[in-house]
């Protein structure tokens, strides 16, 4: 009884090793000239192969997340770390991300190749499959692009999606499965940059800024991420935009989308500092306000809460160093190129001493009991707070203009990077005809799926390779059980 695995990527190689350990005779058919080529490019050449923060909730929403659960439960974080140690990869934990201790993705790729060799798995490189047919005998007939045909008793399709096609995953596996009658959710590029028609983008080329990024479509809040955004001449990149790019790819056709950057939402000193600053009172942990489409409502809530660190910093300078230019004030908080664009968008002169700016700051007193997102009991006064109240600083006139631009630094989003520039594929073969419990096709018993060609994708940070290991393992165990029964 022989199992053929089509696709020698992360999921296919891991499935081959698992199946061989279960006593199955396995052959891998890989389109490229070596197995695991994409692995070499992962994690900036270091391969972030799983994460301490592993949870099915991280995978993209709805059914997709639910369908990922059985595989992640069958083979989770602990299993992954142990299995990789047995293959010769000792983990190094950095923040919540696991990398091989060697710091080299090539260690992971070589461990897979070695692991297959040691278990007698036959690897056929330059063997791209073009069709899979189940014969009346119950055997599968696989045809390669070269015209060569072979039969086998069970098949795992692990051909990847469409992302980074130079590494071999060109969508041909998805096409084969679709031809066999499996439903496919349109594959779109994910974990890639966003594009915009903003005229001032080029001036931001090279800027990196830590901020809060939210994605809005009309009145709908579509997503939010904190992290470092990077600007290039023609795109907005960085982890926050990567994570939300699939939303743009899937829903932009429904209407215009705005990427809203809040450049001052989070105190660079951290939450603890903010809490201490609030009159030294031991305040309850404040819920961060989720950005939303109504700019006035968003700004009014922010004014009261999350951006206090910036107001206190600005108000202090206004009081003690009124001759400081606006440019100097801002350049202490955000990169200078970005500060220039902020001032342009706000219509404020960079060289203006902050003492000449119209308006100033007001104190707004709020009863402690009302520190909740929907407080309406606040009363505006000039001056400090008194017992039983907390004072919030609120900007007026020019300061408000500046504040609006800093918190709603908006870009009209026109699209995302293509598959060449995407790390993963969102969409693919759905679970309409595939059992999430076994990863077996409902249409063809003995045919299994693993990895990115299925409609499961996760954020950056080891989730996608973890899906490859977990789904590869579940598919291999299910295939071994199927072959044992047959
Ligand atoms: C630049 C980059 C960095 C990344 N970094 C990370 C990271 O650090 N952490 C993380 O978790 N994820 C990362 N990913 C994502 C991760 O690499 C993929 O999710 C994972 O490799 C998917 O595994 P797979 O086996 O399903 O598909 P692939 O790894 O794409 O393997 C599919 C294999 O099938 C072969 N194939 C395709 N069609 C056929 C066919 N018709 N016949 C035979 N063979 C075929 C291909 O040649 C390929 O070798 C990154 C991706 C990229 C592009």
* C-alpha dihedral (134, 140, 141, 146), degrees to nearest 10: 120
pLDDT higher than 80, residue 259: yes
Residue 239: per-residue pLDDT: 95
Q: What is the DSSP letter of 370?
A: G
CA 289 – CA 262 distance, rounded (Å): 12
Q: Please write the tens of the pLDDT for every residue from 301-338.
A: 665 556 778 888 898 899 899 999 999 999 999 999 99
Q: What is the spatial distance between Cα 175 and Cα 178, in angstroms, rounded to a whole number? A: 5
Q: How many residues does the chain have?
A: 486
Find the 451 Cα to ligand 1 centroid distance in Å.
8
pLDDT higher than 70, residue 270: no
The pLDDT value recorded for residue 321 is 93
- What is the predicted pLDDT for the residue at 308? 78
Asked if 468 contacts 475 with a C-beta cutoff of 8 angstroms, the reply is no
Mean pLDDT of 152-160: 98
List beta partners, residue 410: 260
Mutate to test the pocket of ligand 1, among 44, 132, 159, 450 (most ligand atoms within 8 A of CB): 159
In the β-sheet with 2-6, what is the strand arrangement from edge to edge? 122-124, 25-29, 2-6, 154-157, 447-449
Task: Band the pLDDT of 379: cuts 50, 70, 90.
Answer: very low
The Å distance, Cα 164 to ligand 1 centre, comes to: 8
Percentage of the chain beyond pLDDT 70 is: 86
Please give the domain boundaries of the chain with CATH numbers for all domains: 2-190+424-485 (3.50.50.60), 193-417 (no CATH)
CA neighbor of 108 nearest in space, from 85, 128, 131, 127: 85
Q: Mean of the per-residue pLDDT values for the chain?
A: 89
Banded pLDDT at 362 (limits 50, 70, 90): confident
DSSP labels, 200-216? TSGGGTT-EEEEEEEEE
Q: Is 2 helix (H, G, I), strand (E, B) or coil?
A: strand
Average pLDDT of the residues in 411-416 = 98
Token pair 């909740």 is found at 372
Tell me, in angstroms, the distance from the centre of ligand 1 to residue 169's CA: 6
Q: What local confidence, expressed as pLDDT, does residue 292 receive?
A: 60
Q: What's the whole-number mean pLDDT along residues 27-47?
A: 98
Q: Which residues pair with 429 in a beta bridge?
A: 184, 454
Query: How much is the average pLDDT of 364-376?
Result: 48
Measuring from each residue's beta carbon to the nearest atom of ligand 1, which residues come in under 6 Å?
A: 6-12, 29-32, 37-38, 41-43, 47-48, 128-129, 158-160, 163-164, 167-169, 172-173, 423-424, 451-452, 462-465, 468
Give pLDDT, residue 12.
98
- Protein residue with least CA distance to atom 5, ligand 1: 42
* Distance from residue 38's CA to the centre of ligand 1 (Å): 5
For residues 259 and 198, what is the distance between their CA atoms, to the nearest angstrom?
11
Distance from residue 483's CA to the centre of ligand 1 (Å)? 27
pLDDT score recorded for residue 63:
67
pLDDT at residue 285, rounded to an integer: 38
Of 193, 339, 340, 199, the closest CA to residue 263 belongs to 339
Least confident of 30-34, 220-224, 347-351, 391-395: 391-395
Query: 151 near 29, Cβ under 8 Å?
Result: no
Q: Whose CA is nearest to atom 51 of ligand 1?
A: 423
pLDDT category, 373, cuts 50, 70, 90? very low
Query: pLDDT-based confidence at 182, cuts 50/70/90?
Result: very high
CA distances from 434 to 68, 83, 193 (A): 12, 26, 31
Ligand 1 centroid vs 12 CA: distance in angstroms?
Answer: 10
Question: Please, which pLDDT band fits residue 149 given cuts at 50, 70 and 90?
Answer: very high
Dist CA 406 CA 409 (whole Å): 6
Cβ neighbour number for residue 214 with a 10 Å cutoff: 25
Q: What is the pLDDT of residue 96?
A: 92
- More confidently predicted of 44 and 282: 44
Neighbours of 276 (CB within 10 A): 13
pLDDT score, position 266: 74
Sign of the torsion formed by the C-alpha atoms of 119, 82, 53 and 68 = positive
pLDDT the model gives residue 57: 86
- % pLDDT > 90, the chain: 77
3-state secondary structure of 325: strand
For the CA of 10, the nearest atom of ligand 1: 25
- CA 177/CA 160 separation, integer angstroms: 12
**Higher model confidence: residue 284 or residue 162?**
162
In Å, how far are 75, 125, 479 from 87, measured between CA atoms? Answer: 16, 22, 22
Q: Indicate the DSSP class of residue 384.
A: -
Residue 364 has pLDDT above 50, yes or no: yes
pLDDT tier for residue 261 given thresholds of 50, 70 and 90: very high
Choose between 396 and 437: higher pLDDT: 437
Work out the widest C-alpha separation in the chain, in whole angstroms. 87
Provide the token pair at 292.
């939303």
Nearest to 428 by CA among 188, 263, 233: 188
What strands, in cross-sheet order, belong to the sheet with 129-134? 129-134, 140-144, 149-152
Residue 386 has pLDDT above 80, yes or no: no
pLDDT at 486: 87
Is the pLDDT at 422 greater than 50? The verdict is yes
Q: Is the pLDDT of residue 290 over 60?
A: no
């Amino acid at each position: 009884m022989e199992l053929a695995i089509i696709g020698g990527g992360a999921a296919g190689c891991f499935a081959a090793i698992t199946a061989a350990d279960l006593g199955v005779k396995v052959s891998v058919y890989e389109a490229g000239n070596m197995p695991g080529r994409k692995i070499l490019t992962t994690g900036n050449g270091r391969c972030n192969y799983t994460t301490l923060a592993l949870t099915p909730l991280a995978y993209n929403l709805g059914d997709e997340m639910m369908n990922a659960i059985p595989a992640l439960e069958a083979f989770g974080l602990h299993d992954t770390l142990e299995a990789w140690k047995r293959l010769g990869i000792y983990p190094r934990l950095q923040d919540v991300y696991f990398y091989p201790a060697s710091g080299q993705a090539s260690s992971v790729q070589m461990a897979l190749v070695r692991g297959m060799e040691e278990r007698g798995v036959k690897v056929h490189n330059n063997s791209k499959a073009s069709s899979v047919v189940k014969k009346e005998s119950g055997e599968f007939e696989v045809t390669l692009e070269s015209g060569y045909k072979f039969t086998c008793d069970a098949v795992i399709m692990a051909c990847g999606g469409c992302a980074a096609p130079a590494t071999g995953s060109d969508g041909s596996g998805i096409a084969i499965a679709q031809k066999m009658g499996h439903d496919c959710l349109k594959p779109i590029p994910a974990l890639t940059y966003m594009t915009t028609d903003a005229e001032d983008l080029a001036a931001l080329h090279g800027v990196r800024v830590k901020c809060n990024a939210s994605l809005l479509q009309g009145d709908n809040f579509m997503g939010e991420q904190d992290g470092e955004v990077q600007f290039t001449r023609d795109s907005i990149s960085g982890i926050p935009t990567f994570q939300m790019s699939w939303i743009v790819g899937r829903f932009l056709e429904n209407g215009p989308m705005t990427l809203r950057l809040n450049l001052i939402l989070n105190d660079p000193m951290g939450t603890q500092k903010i809490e201490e600053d609030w009159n030294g009172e031991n305040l309850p942990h404040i819920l961060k306000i989720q950005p939303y489409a109504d700019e006035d409502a968003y700004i009014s809530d922010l004014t009261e809460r999350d951006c206090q660190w910036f107001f206190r910093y600005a108000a202090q300078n206004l009081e003690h160093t009124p001759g400081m230019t606006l440019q100097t004030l801002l350049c202490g908080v955000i990169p200078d190129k970005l500060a220039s664009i902020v001032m342009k968008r706000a219509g404020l002169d960079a060289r203006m001493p902050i003492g000449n700016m119209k308006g100033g700051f007001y104190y707004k007193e709020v009863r402690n009991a009302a520190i909740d997102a929907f407080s309406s009991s606040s009363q505006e006064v000039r001056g400090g707070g008194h017992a039983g109240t907390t004072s919030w600083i609120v900007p007026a006139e020019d300061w408000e203009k500046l504040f609006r631009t800093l918190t709603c630094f908006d870009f009209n989003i026109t699209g995302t990077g293509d598959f060449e520039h995407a790390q993963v594929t969102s969409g693919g073969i759905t679970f309409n005809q595939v059992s999430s419990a076994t990863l077996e096709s409902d249409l063809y018993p003995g045919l299994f799926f693993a990895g990115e060609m299925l409609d499961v994708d996760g954020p950056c940070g080891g989730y996608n390779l973890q899906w490859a290991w977990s789904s590869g393992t579940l598919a291999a165990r299910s295939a071994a059980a199927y072959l044992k029964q047959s």
